[in-house]
Amino acid sequence: MSRNPLPSRTDSPNFRVYHEQVDLRTKERVQFIDLTELVAERVIRSGITHGTVQIQTRHTTAAIVINENEPLLIQDLQELLELWAPADVDYRHDDFGSRKSPFTMDERVNGDAHARAILLGCSKSLNVVDGRIDLGRWQRIFLVELDGARKRYTSIVVMGVTDERASRRESPAEFEHAPLRGVS
Amino acid sequence: MSRNPLPSRTDSPNFRVYHEQVDLRTKERVQFIDLTELVAERVIRSGITHGTVQIQTRHTTAAIVINENEPLLIQDLQELLELWAPADVDYRHDDFGSRKSPFTMDERVNGDAHARAILLGCSKSLNVVDGRIDLGRWQRIFLVELDGARKRYTSIVVMGVTDERASRRESPAEFEHAPLRGVS
Amino acid sequence: MSRNPLPSRTDSPNFRVYHEQVDLRTKERVQFIDLTELVAERVIRSGITHGTVQIQTRHTTAAIVINENEPLLIQDLQELLELWAPADVDYRHDDFGSRKSPFTMDERVNGDAHARAILLGCSKSLNVVDGRIDLGRWQRIFLVELDGARKRYTSIVVMGVTDERASRRESPAEFEHAPLRGVS
């Protein structure tokens, strides 16, 4: 009854690393930008069939998150960010007069954004199987802007093997009754 | 006095990607399922000696977490989830009448589960060294069910090199007094 | 006007995995230790030009975090940890009399540290591009001690390709007006 893909073990001389940086200009202070199609396109461009894709924001007040793209849920998350790291609290980081480290002329009051970015994380990595991101039905990839509007740089690395012919499906005992499925 | 393994640098023509999807049926709404032995077994099956293993849940209301398997700590975590994203709050996501996106007939009230899944994260990646997951003494891998009972799909990718003979240990100056240790 | 690096696709027979464990003795109960230079040095030692670097603490009461190294922000984070998982709460994990699992003679009251470690995560992975960690201007890598002072083991794996000559830059249509940049 299992509709699982069989386990696969791919040896290949064709190991590849694909890198691309994608720039986006955000519009709101807090904004969820769905990058799923953009990342999926880079996985296809990479030609990599089995491996991983890592999406990394190069900022300390933005994050990468995987979850459902449902507009009301996104509104919930904006409220949850207030619970997790309130905007109306005095963060020491925003007391520019006390700062010893250099700060730029366009420094913003953004202690909340740093705290939220730490909670959500700046990079996420997902499995790549049969040439596609191994996302579940509802999973989507978001760049989360926490201190916009800004220009944001997202670094994408796809890493793995490219030679489908070198792929071979295994059929260990526990899978022997499952229908065979070729590498698509 | 250092009992550290020496740094290792492994060049190999035998690069491999191993993938397997594992299905589990959870029993409780919130449940911590220890996947450590299952994942360790897949690392052994993969034959990969040095690289990484990435464990990804393919759901938006489940998570992967690394920590200690101590039953009282697991109870603490169930209470902490209430602190981080309470179950008894009205999430907009659960107001089905206002939803514009499609929802399924078996839609559940689970705004809390999405919020918790975002905090905990859907995938974790760990280092693989000398053929084993490089876990510390107390570290265990958990699938965290946040909206069960359900059938859950976990995607595991082990990626790295397989040829131990191609491995060579380095002994830079700062390590020269440490005892040599072969690749086991 | 784009100053982005062009997308790169690197095929190479020189796939490499570099591993090193780094030991540090922490001094405070909660302490942020900047590992950026240490990790950057290991990426250089690895000789890997394109791929990923994964930093993993081998403990359940420590974490790896990426954010800005600004002293006042670090103070903010110490207070936020109190918000996220208070130290002055009775965790069941700390009720040693009720524990069924074995515990060591040096067991500490550290339920808060476990909770904080779960929120922050035990490993982070970053992209490696052109021989360097693809960090943004303000991004730094921290080991976060949550139950010190202790000796802590950090496992670092750099994985990817090493042969720069095998690298080839692509210039798809949307990048054709960008200035060419060689692999440095």
The string of pLDDT tens digits covering residues B76-102 is 999 999 999 999 999 999 988 888 776
Q: Which of A46, A60, A159 is closest, CB to CB, to C67?
A: A60
Is A51 in the B-facing interface, judged by CB distances under 8 Å? yes
The predicted-structure confidence for A52-65, as pLDDT tens digits, reads as follows: 999 999 999 999 99
Return the structure tokens found at C60: 């359940």
Is A70 in the B-facing interface, judged by CB distances under 8 Å? yes
A vs C, Cβ pairs < 8 A, gives 133
pLDDT band at B135 (very low <50, low <70, confident <90, very high): very high
User: What was the pLDDT predicted at B97?
Assistant: 84
User: What was the pLDDT predicted at C97?
Assistant: 84
Q: Which residues of B125-148 are buried (b: 16+ CB within 10 A; e: fewer)?
A: bbbbbbbebbbbebbbbbbbbbbb
Q: What angle do CA B154, B133, A53 make, to 5 degrees?
A: 50
Q: What is the pTM of this model?
A: 0.87
Q: Say if the Cβ atoms of B56 and A13 lie within 8 Å.
A: no
The predicted-structure confidence for B21-58, as pLDDT tens digits, reads as follows: 999 999 999 999 999 999 999 999 999 999 999 999 99
- Residue A46 with chain C: CB contacts under 8 Å: 9
Q: For A130, which residue in chain B has the nearest alpha carbon?
A: B19
CB atoms within 10 A of CB C184: 10
Residue B35 Cα, gap to closest chain C Cα (Å): 16
Return the structure tokens found at A167: 């792929």
- Phi then psi dihedrals of residue A79, to 5 deg: -70, -40
Q: Helix, strand, or coil here: A16? A: strand
- Phi then psi dihedrals of residue C28, to 5 deg: -115, 165
Residues of chain C with pLDDT under 50: 1-3, 166-184
Is B15 in the C-facing interface, judged by CB distances under 8 Å? yes
Is B183 in the C-facing interface, judged by CB distances under 8 Å? no
Looking up tokens 């169930």, which residue turns up?
B78
Q: For C168, which residue in chain A has the nearest alpha carbon?
A: A18
Residue B31 Cα, gap to closest chain C Cα (Å): 15
Interface test with C, best of B3, B54, B66 (most C CBs within 10 A): B66
d(CA A18, CA A14): 12
Beta strand spans in A26-61 (E): 31-34, 50-57
d(CA A120, CA A77): 11
Q: Say if the Cβ atoms of C125 and A95 lie within 8 Å.
A: no
Enumerate the H helices of chain B as residue ranges: 36-46, 71-84, 111-120
Residue B19 Cα, gap to closest chain A Cα (Å): 5
Q: Tell me how far apart the terminal alpha carbons of chain C are, to the nearest angstrom.
A: 21
The predicted-structure confidence for A62-86, as pLDDT tens digits, reads as follows: 999 999 999 999 999 999 999 999 9
- Residue B106 with chain A: CB contacts under 8 Å: none
Q: What angle do CA C66, C69, C75 make, to 5 degrees?
A: 100
Return the structure tokens found at A87: 């905007």
User: What was the pLDDT predicted at C171?
Assistant: 39
Is B184 in the C-facing interface, judged by CB distances under 8 Å? no
Contact call for residues A80 and A156 (beta carbons, < 8 A): no
The C-alpha R_g of chain B, in whole angstroms, comes to 21
Least confident of A163-172, B3-12, B156-165, C8-17: A163-172
In B, residues 84-113, which contact A (CB 8 Å cutoff)? Answer: 84-85, 91-93, 95, 98-101, 111
ipTM of this predicted structure: 0.86
- Residue A73 with chain B: CB contacts under 8 Å: 91-93, 111, 114
